[in-house]
Structure 1
Amino acid sequence: MADVVAKERRILVAVDEGEQSMHALSWCLSNVISENSKDSILLLYVKPPPAVYTTLDGTGYLFSSDIMAAMDRYGYDVAQSVLEKAKRMCKDLHDVKVESIVEQGDPRDVICQMTQRLGVDVLVMGSRGYGLIKR
């Protein structure tokens, strides 16, 4: 009988600050990735869109560029922290390529768009996890 050659798979794992996403990644590493596979794991972190603060009369708050830059830096730092934690979980996978991607927008939409755009074979994500903003 001919040997079966495993196809290289692209596995997208959506991660955020929640425990559920790290549990989903852990499950993926234990149940989806096989030893000596040539799979690729794509870690996707979706930053929420910039918040727009308005008052009841419809006028918006204007922030200085310093405040906006500080908010952007904080969002970047959170994304990097989450991705570094996820990469550490993947460190024992010798033959698996791990990439990280940061996008901005509504996670529901961005995850679906990236799944199609990247042509992934498997999508792994936690359930009912609320990000830092919704808590």
Structure 2
Amino acid sequence: MSEKKERRILVAVDEGEESMHALSWCLNNLVHPNSDDTLILLYCKAPRPVYTALDGAGGYLFSADVSAAMERYSDQVADSVMEKAKKLCANAQQQQVKVETRVENGDARDAICEAAEKLGADVLVMGSHGYGVIKRAFLGSVSNHCAQKAKCPVLIVKKPKS
């Protein structure tokens, strides 16, 4: 008799439809009802820009009030994204699938790869914006970076064009 192994499925979520589509796809195709699977929802808060008077570009020093307001806004965005993701997972939780949430700070490319390793993810699921070659060259691709650097399999779900 084969022993059931818990799978740790890490899903990177953000404000975009693409990540919610990837989460929905994962729930419909990858997560098994009544299994020992754990679905981990990960949101990465971008690092705050820090400008100083010493940067030579006439930068800015943010007051404590402005910094606190920026941090509150960042927390509100993270909470909003996680609430939306948890609502998508409500049906999975009824089927006894464990759902955890994590919010990490830092550049999404590195934070996602580090979290996948730290959390022992068996698979990383991500959405794709479907940028073309030129846009991807300028903006970079988080999913492409993670596909190259993550130490676990990476499943990139592309949203179909409607």
- With structure 2 as the length reference, what TM-score do the two structures score? 0.73
What are the equivalent positions in structure 2 for 1:1-135 lying under 5 Å apart?
Answer: 2=1, 4-53=2-51, 57-93=56-92, 94=94, 95-128=96-129
AA in 2 matched with 1:77: Q
AA in 2 matched with 1:25: L
Tell me the distance in 2 between the aligned counterparts of 1:129 and 1:13: 18
Tell me the distance in 1 between the aligned counterparts of 2:130 and 2:42: 15
Rate the CA distance shift 1:108–1:129 in 2: closer, same or farther, 3 A. farther
Higher RCO structure, 1 or 2 (CA under 8 Å, sep 6+) = 1
AA in 1 matched with 2:89: C
Query: Alpha-carbon deviation of 1:52?
Result: 2.9
Query: Alpha-carbon deviation of 1:103?
Result: 0.7
- With structure 1 as the length reference, what TM-score do the two structures score? 0.87
Superimposed CA distance per residue, residues 104-124 of structure 1 (whole angstroms, 9 cap, x where no aligned partner): 111010111111111111110
Q: Are 1:16 and 1:82, in contact at CA under 8 Å, matched by a contact in 2?
A: yes
Rate the CA distance shift 1:129–1:64 in 2: closer, same or farther, 3 A. farther
Q: Are 1:15 and 1:44, in contact at CA under 8 Å, matched by a contact in 2?
A: yes
3-state SS of paired residue (1:35): coil
Tell me the distance in 2 between the aligned counterparts of 1:96 and 1:67: 40
Tell me the distance in 1 between the aligned counterparts of 2:35 and 2:99: 13
Q: For the aligned residues, what is the CA RMSD?
A: 2.1
Query: Alpha-carbon deviation of 1:127?
Result: 1.1
Q: Are 1:18 and 1:129, in contact at CA under 8 Å, matched by a contact in 2?
A: no
Tell me the distance in 2 between the aligned counterparts of 1:65 and 1:49: 16
Higher helix proportion (structure 1 or 2):
2
Identical columns (%): 60
Kindly tell me the number of residue pairs found equivalent between the two proteins: 129
Give ranges in structure 2 of 5+ residues lacking alignment: 132-138, 140-162
Superimposed CA distance per residue, residues 62-116 of structure 1 (whole angstroms, 9 cap, x where no aligned partner): 1211111000000000000000100011111231111110111110101111111
